[in-house]
Structure 1
């Protein structure tokens, strides 16, 4: 974010940007910015709102009770049940180190996983953590593609 509150030059809005309602914007920013390496592209403090980004991944955070919000039902922790937000990153290690330093538990330990995509497989190293409101966040680093391996019987 520039000093005048605008996104940095060259910033481009992503085509899909989830907006997460949060109980405490400061606590959410401490998680997303300070531990997970996101930066604030722009913010509207008077609305309890921050637009954050990291490596092209973008999210909007809005504090409950501030600004304009769309709710489809009661908000009960953990928020986002049935949803996990996958965020592709170039490296997992700094995020894992920051989470460990803050003594935040992982929902799922780092793993290497290969998924079938047509006649090939795409690999990822990934882990899951819950943000302060319980949203399930899956950080993922690509391991590339490989030929589809025969099924083990």
Structure 2
């Protein structure tokens, strides 16, 4: 049986098929299940999960205000991946430019620094997605 995480963001999107092209073909997510009649898909990438729902003004969706691009202002979704290089290649082939170029970054976490190779890209609706390849820890 498919195991759902305890926290799974649900992103409203303008075109589900266009978003699936990004999330599945470029980032490598798989479709765990979907309800095409509702414009809904539940995605998974090695335990990183996200739900996508196409905006439908007649569906009674939980929208607190009118959506305008870029969606998700003030949030970025960090997703751990095995390697960022192949994903950057897929994004380039699909015509997506990076919002923030790939770089190695070290963040202090109490008495150690945690390293990650990371870049940020915007999905078709403007959500910021930060893909992270773990580099390990080092002493401060």
TM surpasses 0.5: yes
Instruction: List alignment gaps of at least 5 residues for structure 2.
Output: none
Q: What is the number of equivalent residue pairs in this alignment?
A: 139
TM-score (norm 1): 0.88
Which residue does the alignment assign to 2:62? 70
Q: How does 1:3-152 map to 2 (within 5 A)?
A: 9=1, 11-65=2-56, 67-148=59-140
Secondary structure (helix, strand or coil) at the match of 1:107 reads strand
Higher strand share: 2
Q: Secondary structure at the match of 2:98?
A: coil
Runs of 4 or more consecutive aligned structure 1 residues displaced over 6 Å after TM superposition: none
Question: In angstroms, what is the RMSD of aligned CA positions?
Answer: 1.1
Q: CA deviation at 1:73?
A: 1.4
Deviates most, 16-25 or 94-103: 94-103
Separation (CA, whole Å) in 2 of partners of 1:68 and 1:26? 21
Per-residue CA distance 1:62-118 (angstroms, 9 max, x = gap): 000075521121200000001100001111122111011112110001010000000
Deviation of 1:15 after TM superposition, in Å, equals 1.0
Q: Are the structure 2 counterparts of residues 134 and 18 from structure 1 closer, same or farther at C-alpha, using a change threshold of 3 Å?
A: same
